[in-house]
Amino acid sequence: MIELQFQVLSPVTGNLGFTGTPLRAAFLNLINDCDDELSNQIHDSRAIRTYALQPFGCGADYTTTVRAGEEYRFRVNLLDSDRFQDIVRKFALGAQKSLRIHHEVFPILRVDFNAYDAGKTMETWFDDFKRSFKDEVHLVVHYLTPTQLSAYGSDFACLFPQPERVFSSLLRVWNQIEHTTSLERVSEYRDWLESRVYVSGYRLHTAQVSLGRNRSVVGFVGRVVYTVTDARSPLGLLTAGLAKFAEISNIGKNRTAGFGQVEVRIEHEDHKEVNRTVPTA
């Protein structure tokens, strides 16, 4: 996996709205300029997206106000590093000097790179969990940006974070990463989730984000506690690992545009916290 952090300079002062969607468009345009074949693959509507974006910092209304001459950062996590290697190499050589957000051209000041092996990262999480887990753990998930989940067999969105929807969708994304082992069949894992993981507490509300042109996204934000019984089992460890992976991949529909961004804390029965940082090597 490769983390790209873009640092750009704003040429204007004004409110950009929620920046996830225009930043995704800008990033995809950069890819198209470098590799139109890869761009077509990424746009394949049938494919599971192997990247996620974390936009400019925003206020309580999920909009960002920029000022001319000030610097801003956003991050793109490339989950399948092999697919994006050539693009990253071109970024490193400074092939792209600017990106367009809405109708404004933002100069790219620098692009920072951080690469880490997906399989080894998951193994590190598993090792940490094995040393510290008891039979039951609590996954405290803070949904930072509006989140929607897919409803099975429907185009409608689900606005409650049921564990079988959240973690099975994360497993689908994980299993798309090349050179990692497919950890479990999604259908079998979903059956296990229904009997071993439950929501033990939550404080949520819905939020609406305008995308312009009479379009908007409605999603839930707030805090959810998932209790995992049989936490030391292989699937219990997998569930905790996928929760940590969600900090990189985001969760749900439109996660590639910065929706479904989360922070995760793992607590034992005695509420002892497990380190939530992501290994970087």
CATH label of the domain that carries residue 215: 3.30.70.1900
Q: Which of 82-86, 94-98, 259-263 has the lowest mean pLDDT?
A: 94-98
Cβ atoms of 75 and 6 within 8 Å: the answer is yes
Same domain, residue pair 201 and 124: yes
pLDDT of residue 13: 97
Does one domain contain both 67 and 129?
A: no
Question: Model pTM?
Answer: 0.88
The burial of 248, by beta-carbon neighbours within 10 Å (0-12 exposed, 13-18 middle, 19 or more buried), is given as buried
Given a contact cutoff of 8 angstroms between Cβ atoms, the answer to whether 87 and 28 are in contact is: no
What is the number of structural domains in the chain? 2
Residue pair 167/44 in contact (Cβ under 8 Å)? The answer is no
257 pLDDT above the threshold of 90: yes
Helix H or strand E segment including 15: strand 14-15
Q: What single string gives the DSSP state of each residue in 109-173?
A: EEEEEEE--HHHHHHHHHHHHHHH--SEEEEEEEEEEEE-EEPTTSSSEE-S--HHHHHHHHHHH
Count of CB atoms situated within 10 Å of the CB of 216: 12
CB atoms within 10 A of CB 128: 18
Q: Are residues 42 and 136 in the same domain?
A: no
Residue 150 pLDDT level (bands cut at 50, 70, 90): confident
Distance between CA atoms of 256 and 57, rounded to whole angstroms?
16
Report the pLDDT averaged over residues 76-101: 83
Do 109 and 129 belong together in one domain? no
CATH number at residue 89: 3.30.70.1890
pLDDT score, position 178? 62
Among residues 114, 148, 176, the one where a domain terminates is 114
Identify the domain containing residue 33 by its residue range.
2-114
Which of residues 82, 114, 146 is at a domain's end?
A: 114
What pLDDT, in 10s, does the model give residues 160-189?
A: 999 999 999 999 999 888 656 666 688 889
Residue 150 and residue 27 in one domain: no
Residue 221 lies in a domain: yes
Question: Higher-confidence residue: 61 or 88?
Answer: 61
